[in-house]
Structure 1
Amino acid sequence: MTRYWNPRTEALAREELERLQLAKLRRTAQWAAERSPFYRARFEAAGSRPEDLETLSDVRRLPFTTREEWQASQIEAAPYGTLGTIGADRAIRVHTTSGTSGRMPLRALDSRKDWSWAAEMWCYGLWGAGVRSTDTAYVAFGYGSFIGFWGLHYGLEKLGALVVPGGAQSTESRVRQIIDFQATVVASTPTYALRMAQEAEQLGVDLRGAPVHTLILSGEPAGSIPETKQLIEEAWGARAFDTAGMTEISTIFMFECAEQPGGAHIIEDHLLEEVVDPVTGEPVGFGELGERVVTSFGRSSLPLLRYRTADLVVRVPGTRCPCGRVFDLYEGGVQGRTDDMKVVRGTNVYMRAVEAIVRGTGGVEEFQLRIHREGIRDEVTLHVEPLAPYEDESGWRDLADLIARELAHAHEGLRFHVERAEPGSLPRFELKAKRLVDNRPALEVAHVR
């Protein structure tokens, strides 16, 4: 049985893949210029034409598209804005972004064809992780308007797996259903995979002895943090695979294959991905950290040209993976977001780095990072709920000292206060975790950044 969902394109030679991308780029640009009021005005203002795109590098002649522009169009032409090519009368569903960043959620319409494409894209990642039609897949997701795991659900159905939708219910109920339905695949955020494992332990449920062999993780960069992934795999006795998607393209854009080469493959036959300097917008090379910019080929209702995602990634050649796919990799998956970086006394603080250290200790059940201002000085405090072996005073002090030292070492000597939180006092998350709380005055935060 083939290791590829779509062997015709996943194993293309690089030159053939780039010819396919160029053809799709020109077609998408032409479609957008003709049918999207947003892009029609954009092309006219720039004095450019889709037929001017003669090579892939010519995509840089087009201006970036930003979330702020999209949001502005949805405010001016509520509720769906001017970027789309269809109205609500021709759409079959609407989804939104999560809104966890505190900004107004984007609203995105899909046609029947677009939604079929979203499911097809998910099949790349599911098949690459070893999911097959004989599997029973449990989707631990609340099924609201946030796009979340909706596309994955339909991808599982297209692949032929039996899907158990774990809708709005308690974590205990979900854990029991996973066992009762003898699920072999579980899909959730990395944070919620750990939460379900904790619940199972309290219930006396042996997840390691359950039939689950594969975990599909999405929604957070934590799925590609080795320390977090190791904890998840040890708790479940199963292999965990990182994926990432976004509402703006309606579906997945990267996935880990069965070889797990330390990165996730970009689905390049359906997307043109660039990595640019977040400040200058200029391209960065292989192996350099930059902001991910995406042009999507498959969603006719919402064509997207050079969209700035705010995702921080490092692109490396796909040839380093023994799976044989030509698709390039994002090394370490999504490594963070440009809008998640905080500056504390001149030092950059990324939650991905903090989580890697905290999870690497093996002694933490939950945590939260808080930044506040005392007088003219920024202070950063990590609140920690320790696991049982570290709850006594001696164990806690050793754990807190270790975390403080490792955090300071990774952040140019910046001091992190580490404080113990009461059991169950910190927030738990089903979807995207929000463990960073910045309580500094908004104007001052903007100044120090």
Structure 2
Amino acid sequence: MADQPFWNPKTETLPREQLRELQLAKLRRQVAWARSRSPHYRRTLRDVDPDRLRSWDDLDRLPFLTREEWMAGQETHPPFGELPVVGPEAAIRVHTTSGTSGRMPLRALDGRKDWSWAAEMWCYALWGAGVRPHDVGYVAFGYGSFIGFWGLHGGLEKLGALAVPGGAQTTASRVQQIVDFGATVVASTPTYALRLAQEAESLGVDLPGSAVHTLILSGEPAGSIPETKALIERAWGAKAFDTAGMTEVSTIVMFEPANQPGGCHVIEDHFIEQVVDPSTGLEVGYGERGERVCTSFGRSTTPLIRYRTADLVVKVPGATAGNGRTFDLYEGGIIGRVDDMKLVRGTNVYPGAIEAIVRGHAGIEEFQVRLEHLDGRDEVILLVEPHPALPEDGWSALERALATDLADAHEGLRFLLRRAETGSLPRFELKAKRLTDLRAEQRAAAGVPELSV
């Protein structure tokens, strides 16, 4: 098996017609299960006959589930809400979202079979990236209640690789363990992969000369940004692979395999992924940007049916990848969030687009974006922390080039660049929060009324 690229060759190469039949059969089973056992779905699916779900168009018979509904259920029926089919006495784990958005984290219960399934999903990604039983996988993650890389750890064990948990220690200690254990695979968020590389440089550790050959990235859209990924690969001297999942399904939904740069295959034998117009909820076609809507077949304790993820994606046929997989492909992985876009003086500003430009310039250690209302108008302030080795005369050239590229990409909108002191900007172990919008607070303090858009 080690010389073939597929974890599950039977389903990963299944003809599309047969794959669709498999998905619909699993959908009928999952809807019947959820409707009969989950208080939420007993109410929302009471008029749905599972046996009548025979075609892709029949998905429209199923209502969307939103994060707001899930949260409301948690508040009215604490602590786990109405989605689970059993109570905590019949589950073996509870995990939460990261909470980096400032909102109350979602709480999700899992049973024993759910957790085994989550590890199986990670095996698709790990094997597809070339990870094999002889590898040593280092998981640079805190192992808290946030689900993060818990499933990847299980996937490494299921695959037969040696898993090294890197929780509850400093970044410097993790760098040293990566070297000491001879790790060949490292898993982290894209932001933390860069942080580890910065720490290694300060410690005099030669990461490109280490045994690491593969990086598994997850948790942020930055893993899909070519400039960020290229920066990570240069810093590590290793190949980086993007993945994406969410606490709501307990595991990953898509993965970037070897020889398939710039896109992630959906694990379609275990999920149905639709892409809809965020405004209308109507499904869009291949090649059109829209919002992911996820239905999971594997998590039985907390079923997920037509969940609106708020992730922005562009779906293309899997056959276009040319790697033998028939699973649909998200071109560029997760390209942003529905609520990421900020309007500044009539121009759309996306955090991912800013990062792509910043990471394309050498000599930048870290950055932050602040939206402020100054002297009667909105401004975008970019705080840039240069690399300590950047010469003094190098900052002026960097500042000019960066300002020009940002303006060119944003219809001439001028960014205010400010140099930050070395080590002054925040570092992140999990998901980075690099954009802060202070405009509403500043307008209120100045007595400026909010405009309805």
The alignment's TM-score, normalised by the length of structure 2, stands at 0.96
Structure 2, unpaired ranges of 5+: none
In 2: Cα distance, 1:261 partner to 1:425 partner: 34
Check whether the contact 1:33–1:50 (CA below 8 A) recurs between aligned residues: no
Match of 2:397 in 1: 398
Q: Tell me which amino acid in the other structure corresponds to 2:116.
A: S
1:430 paired with 2:429, answer yes
Instruction: Show CA shifts across 1:172-192 (max 9, x none).
Output: 100000000000000001111
Of the candidates 37, 40, 63, which is equivalent to residue 38 of structure 1?
A: 40
Q: Tell me which amino acid in the other structure corresponds to 1:122.
A: W
Match of 2:215 in 1: 215
Match of 1:439 in 2: 438
Q: Tell me which amino acid in the other structure corresponds to 1:439.
A: L
Instruction: Show CA shifts across 1:318-374 (max 9, x none).
Output: 111121010011101100001221111121111110000000012210000000112
Instruction: Show CA shifts across 1:185-227 (max 9, x none).
Output: 0000111111111111111111111010000000111111111
Check whether the contact 1:293–1:309 (CA below 8 A) recurs between aligned residues: yes
In 2: Cα distance, 1:29 partner to 1:3 partner: 33
Report the alpha carbon displacement of residue 124 of structure 1 after superposing the two structures with TM.
Answer: 0.2
Of the candidates 3, 11, 24, which is equivalent to residue 5 of structure 2?
A: 3
Instruction: Show CA shifts across 1:1-39 (max 9, x none).
Output: 221111111110111100000001111111111111101
In 2: Cα distance, 1:447 partner to 1:120 partner: 49
Check whether the contact 1:261–1:321 (CA below 8 A) recurs between aligned residues: no
In 2: Cα distance, 1:123 partner to 1:418 partner: 43
Check whether the contact 1:29–1:50 (CA below 8 A) recurs between aligned residues: yes
In 2: Cα distance, 1:58 partner to 1:396 partner: 58
Check whether the contact 2:221–2:334 (CA below 8 A) recurs between aligned residues: yes
In 2: Cα distance, 1:337 partner to 1:226 partner: 17
Q: Specify the SS of the correspondent of 1:339.
A: coil
Q: In the superposition, relative to structure 1, how do residues 446 and 2 fare at CA in structure 2: closer, same or farther (>3 Å)?
A: farther
Report the alpha carbon displacement of residue 445 of structure 1 after superposing the two structures with TM.
Answer: 10
Match of 1:205 in 2: 205
Q: Tell me which amino acid in the other structure corresponds to 1:42.
A: T
In 2: Cα distance, 1:363 partner to 1:311 partner: 31
1:73 paired with 2:73, answer yes
Identity %: 68
Instruction: Show CA shifts across 1:217-265 (max 9, x none).
Output: 0011111111111111111111000001100000000101111242010
Instruction: Show CA shifts across 1:412-445 (max 9, x none).
Output: 1111101000100000000000000111226889
Check whether the contact 2:260–2:323 (CA below 8 A) recurs between aligned residues: no
Q: Tell me which amino acid in the other structure corresponds to 1:303.
A: P
Q: In the superposition, relative to structure 1, how do residues 167 and 412 fare at CA in structure 2: closer, same or farther (>3 Å)?
A: same
Q: In the superposition, relative to structure 1, how do residues 448 and 386 fare at CA in structure 2: closer, same or farther (>3 Å)?
A: farther
Check whether the contact 2:98–2:146 (CA below 8 A) recurs between aligned residues: yes
Q: Specify the SS of the correspondent of 2:132.
A: coil
In 2: Cα distance, 1:428 partner to 1:363 partner: 17
Of the candidates 15, 18, 22, which is equivalent to residue 16 of structure 1?
A: 18
5 Å-filtered alignment, 1:33-432, equals 33-44=35-46, 47-392=47-392, 394-432=393-431
In 2: Cα distance, 1:94 partner to 1:364 partner: 39
In 2: Cα distance, 1:186 partner to 1:389 partner: 26
Q: Tell me which amino acid in the other structure corresponds to 1:347.
A: T
Of 168-177 and 439-448, more deviation after overlay is shown by 439-448
Q: Tell me which amino acid in the other structure corresponds to 2:42.
A: R
Provide the aligned length of Structure 1 versus Structure 2.
446
Q: In the superposition, relative to structure 1, how do residues 448 and 231 fare at CA in structure 2: closer, same or farther (>3 Å)?
A: farther
Report the alpha carbon displacement of residue 282 of structure 1 after superposing the two structures with TM.
Answer: 1.0
In 2: Cα distance, 1:261 partner to 1:14 partner: 22
Check whether the contact 1:191–1:430 (CA below 8 A) recurs between aligned residues: yes
Q: Specify the SS of the correspondent of 1:109.
A: strand
In 2: Cα distance, 1:257 partner to 1:226 partner: 15
Check whether the contact 1:315–1:331 (CA below 8 A) recurs between aligned residues: yes
The alignment's TM-score, normalised by the length of structure 1, stands at 0.97
Report the alpha carbon displacement of residue 375 of structure 1 after superposing the two structures with TM.
Answer: 4.8
Check whether the contact 2:221–2:333 (CA below 8 A) recurs between aligned residues: yes
Check whether the contact 1:389–1:395 (CA below 8 A) recurs between aligned residues: no
In 2: Cα distance, 1:39 partner to 1:275 partner: 22
